[in-house]
Chain A
Amino acid sequence: MTSAPVAQPRIRSRRPARGLRKFVLGVAGLLGFLLTWELLPALGIVDARFLPPATTVLAQLATEFQDLEFWRNVGRTMTTWFLGLLIATLGAVAIGTVIGLVPYLRRLTHTTVEFLRPIPSVALIPLAILMFGFQMPAALLIVVYASFWQVFVQVLYGVADVDTVARDTAKSFGLTRASRFRNLVLPTALPYIMTGVRLGAAVALILTVTAELLIAVPGIGRVIVFARGAGDVPTVYVYVVVAGLLGLIVNLIFRLIERRVLSWHQSVRGEDVA
């Protein structure tokens, strides 16, 4: 991704060959995996009732793509995921900045945070069911709880990373609180926040699907549970593959956003400061 088109033509000409090799091998690996999957039930190593061959699953996936209900389920999952991530991010950034900027608050909350953070979010599922019933807010509670900490901790680190000289300079230049926050704290903390959001996005997706699996909130997780209950094994596999694809897409999108938002930042520009 380094853009040095003029300076090093020699390396550039070699790179496509490397990239091609990587691509071919990667595709070969995927095909090999699919082939193994196809062969396992075909050779009777695993019962085909429990592991339908890859072709069956992929064919059904292709027909599902034309089904409106399929897209609705994906949409439901992604809505829960997005709302959860949004609430968690906004909350974590707001609370994190306030706590991070006030050393007194930081010391006060430290032990509480350290206690609450390791509580596995799935432990809250029963509570969520009691509070909201088998509804979307129950899933949201869990998603928000899980992804909140990811962002929150990063925000704390980010705010703590503000250069003291820069902060004192800004103060003595009489910048208002708001403009100090906008022009100094936020840019410093942004890379941390982005890392937090990227981690949080992955966690949020995991917890969204989990909530659908266990609370039966509508979405792809619930389809898996229903299909499993009905003995419709291929559908289970189809939706597991879909869940994986969603995970991949979420990863890719957030890497892209990170690169966009932080295009000015050292880690993305990749230039030497020396």
Chain B
Amino acid sequence: MKTLKILTAVAVVALVGILASGILNFGTMTKEDPEIESAINDVQLNEQAPIKKGYEIGDKATDFSLMNIDGKMISLKDYDNAKGFIVIFTCNHCPYSVAYEDRIIALDKEFKEQGYPVIAINPNNPEAYPEDSYDNMKIRAKEKGFTFPYLFDAGQKIYPQYGATKTPHVFLLQKEGTSNIVKYIGAIDDNHKDANAIKNDYLRDAVTNLIKGQEIKMTKTVAIGCSIKS
């Protein structure tokens, strides 16, 4: 009986997403309500078959040609001397992204010299978030003194290929010949609020491992931040 209760609770929590998207017009809640039943079935189907999109560790990451805040187009292939890239999908409007700006600058300064520059990409649709417009990107980059390219994913073509879902969302790439292989996906670290209270410095550890030719211990972490809006 307790299991049933637990299952019901979980199903209801999941259901709310569906209810919120507009099926909230049924009358009184009864266990026999066919709409609820079918919604629960839908939820279970979704849970059994999660949709997989974007890159896995070891995949070849696509190159791109995206406009930087200085109006120039940037591609990964332009970086002859790079050993890899710290690609970070980030934006202006998200408080998590803002909280990480100084840390992203520090990562770029630390690792650019060692062959792993930061490439920041704003994946958001400025119509959904005017703060993330190309003009506002230029303003923010200047205010903060970004040391790295801050590219605009015009038409939102690149982020879905990578499988970025959040800002900030990191994809650490390593050059192998002409390919860029995905080595780490996820968060920058585990504390957006306080850089001095980090318990796990995921990205820095991963880049350091790559540079030293060591195995990356945590290749995937959960990116915490704001959902990318199309």
Partners in one complex: no
Chain B interface (Cβ within 8 Å of chain A)?
none
Chain A interface (Cβ within 8 Å of chain B)?
none
